[in-house]
Amino acid sequence: MTPDPFLVAIESAAQEAISLIDAETDEKVAAVLGEAQRKVDEEINRYIAEAEQEARRKAQRDLNAARVKAQRAEADVCYELYEDFFDSITGDLSRYREDASLYQPVLCALMREATQGFEAGIISIDPRDETQATECMQMLGHSFELRSDIATAGGCVARNGDGTVIRDNTFESRLSRVRDEMEQQIWSVLIS
C-alpha cells in the first residue's frame, strides 16, 4: 500500500514543527545553561576574591602579630642586658671603694654635694667608710654629726639639722636615678 499523500504531508509538517520546536528548545536550554554558567562563574570569582582578601587580611594579621612578638622578644632581651649591665655596675662600684686613692675624692665630693646648703645635720655612711669620711669632714670643714649606720656600696645620706631634708647620695641611689632615666629612654626607643 502506498502512503496517502495527505498523511505524508501532515507527517512532514509535523516533523518540521518538531524540528523547529527542538531547535527553539535547544536554543532556550543553551541560553539558560549559558546564564547559569555565567552566574556560577560570577559566584566562583566573587568567592575566590573574598577568600583571597580574607587570606591577605589573615596573613597581614599574622605578620603583625609576629612583628609584635619579635619586638617583645627584642625588648625582653634588651631589658635582660640592661638588668645585667646595672647589676655588673653595682658590683663594680662596691669594688671601687677598695682603692682609697680613687674612692676618697669621690666620697668627699658626694659628701659636699649632699650637704650643700645645710648649716648642720647628720651624715650617714657605711661603717667601712668611717676613716675616709672623717678625713673628708676635716677637709670640707664640716661640723656635721657623722654616723656609721647605713649599708651601701659607697657614698652617703645627709639630713639637715631638723631632719626635714634628706639627700641620698649613695652609689645605689645615684645609679637608680640614672637607671630610671635610661630605662625611659630605652623604652621610648624600643616602642617607637
Tally of CB atoms within 10 A around 155: 28
Residue given cell 625611659 in the structure block: 184
Q: pLDDT at position 90, please?
A: 72
Tally of CB atoms within 10 A around 50: 10
Task: Kindly give the parts of the chain with pLDDT less than 70.
Answer: 1, 192
Instruction: Give the C-alpha separation, 132 to 145, whole Å.
Output: 15
Q: pLDDT at position 1, please?
A: 66
Q: pLDDT at position 112, please?
A: 95
Q: pLDDT at position 7, please?
A: 75
Q: pLDDT at position 130, please?
A: 95
3-class secondary structure, 168 = strand
Q: pLDDT at position 106, please?
A: 93
Domain 97-191 fold is hypothetical protein PF0899 fold (3.30.2320)
What pTM, to 2 d.p., does this model score? 0.59
Cell digits of residue 157: 645620706
Residue-range domain boundaries for the chain: 1-73, 97-191
Sheet order of strands, 155-160 included:
145-147, 121-124, 155-160, 166-170
Q: pLDDT at position 121, please?
A: 93
Which residues is 121 bridged to in the sheet? 160
CA 146 from chain centre, in angstroms, equals 47
Q: pLDDT at position 107, please?
A: 95
What is the DSSP-derived secondary structure letter of residue 120? Answer: S
Q: pLDDT at position 71, please?
A: 80
What is the DSSP-derived secondary structure letter of residue 153? Answer: S
The four Cα atoms 161, 163, 168, 170 give a dihedral, to 10 degrees, of 60
